[in-house]
Chains A and B, each alone.
Chain A
Amino acid sequence: MRTRTQRLALALICAGALFPGAATYAPGTAGGASAGKPATHSVVIDGLKYDPETLTVKRGETVIWTNKDPFPHTVTAQGKFDSHDIAAGGSWKYVARTAGEYSYICTLHPNMKGMLRVE
C-alpha cells in the first residue's frame, strides 16, 4: 500500500526517467523518499544469518549491517563492496549508489548468503 505522496514521488521519478529534463524540477525526489532524506535500512546478522536475507532499497539509501554474533562476519559482494571484518557487536554502513542485484556472502563463513537489490 502506498500513500498519495509516495505515489506522487514515484510518478515524478517515472516522469524523470521518461523525460530526463523533468528531473530538474524536483531534485529532492531523486533519492526516492519524498521527505528529501534518503532512508536507512538495517540488516541484523544473528546466528550466522542475514536478516532480512534479501533487501531491496532505492539508489542513495543507506544500509547498516549489525553483527549480533559473538565473532566477526563480513558482508562481501566480490568486486562490488566489502565490509571486511565486522567485529562482534559492531556494524557496517553502506550507501547503495548503483542499481543492480548484489548477492553477497561472509568470507569467513561462506555458507552465509544474502542479497541486496538496488533499484
Chain B
Amino acid sequence: MKNIGIVVATALLLAAGGVAAQAPNDAQIAHIVVTANQVDIDAGKLAEKMGSTKDVRDFGKQMVTDHSGVNKQAVALVTKLKVKPEDNPTSQSLKSGGEANLKNLKTLKGNAFDKAYIDHEVAYHEQVLDAVDKTLLPSAKNEELKALITKVRPAFVAHLEHAKMLQSKM
C-alpha cells in the first residue's frame, strides 16, 4: 500500500516538477484532467463490485458518477475549443500508477480491499488537488479550461473529505 502512495506521488511530482522544467500546455493539461478522472473511474468500478461494505461500494459508485460527469464536460470543452488532448509524462505516470493500484486491489478481499482502496483514494485526491493548485491552474492558458478545473475542484475536496471519513471508521 505504501508503494502505491509513492507511485501516485511520483506521478504528480512529475506534474509539479513540470512547472520548473516545462509547464504543460493546454492540450497536455486537458489530457491530464481526463486521465486523472479515468484512473479514479476505473478504481471506482472495481470498488462498486468488490467493496465489502455498502459505504465503500457507494463511494466507488459516486466516484464513477462524479468523475465521468467531469470527463464528459472536459471532452465537450476540448471538442468545442478544437484542442486535441496530448499525451505527456504526467498522464503516463498517472495511468501506470492507476494500473498498479488496480493490480494490487485485485489481489485483495474484504476489509483488506476496503482499506487499500480508501487509503489510495485519500492519497490520490490529495495529490490531484496538489497538482491542480500547483501545476494545472497556474499553467492553464485558456480561460474556459481554467474555469472548468476551478469549478470541479470542490468536488475533489468533497471526495477527499468523504474518503478520510471512511478511512477514520476503519
Contact = CB atoms under 8 A, between A and B. Distances in A.
Interface of A: 46-49, 69-72, 88, 108-112
B92 interface: no
Contact of A71 (B155, B157, B162): B155
Contact of B65 (A46, A72, A111): A72
Contacts of A111: 154, 157-158, 161
A88 B161 contact: no
B158 A48 contact: yes
A36 to B, nearest CB: 40
A47 B66 CA distance: 12
B65 A71 contact: yes
Contacts of A70: 69-70, 72-73, 152
Chain B interface main SS type: helix
A87 to B, nearest CB: 10
B82 interface: no
B47 to A, nearest CB: 16
Contacts of A48: 154-155, 158
B62 interface: yes
B150 interface: yes
A111 B73 CA distance: 22
A47 B69 contact: no
Interface residues of B, number: 18
A50 to B, nearest CB: 12
Contacts of B158: 48, 108-112
B151 interface: yes
A43 B151 CA distance: 17
Nearest to A108: B62
Interface in B111-170: 150-152, 154-155, 157-159, 161-162
B2 to A, nearest CB: 28
A112 B155 CA distance: 10
B70 A110 contact: no
Contacts of B159: 109
A40 to B, nearest CB: 26
A50 B115 CA distance: 33
A69 B69 contact: yes
Nearest to A106: B158
Most buried by B among A49, A70, A110, A112: A70
B70 A71 contact: yes
Nearest to A47: B151
A110 B154 CA distance: 11
Interface string B51-89: 000000000001001101110110000000000000000
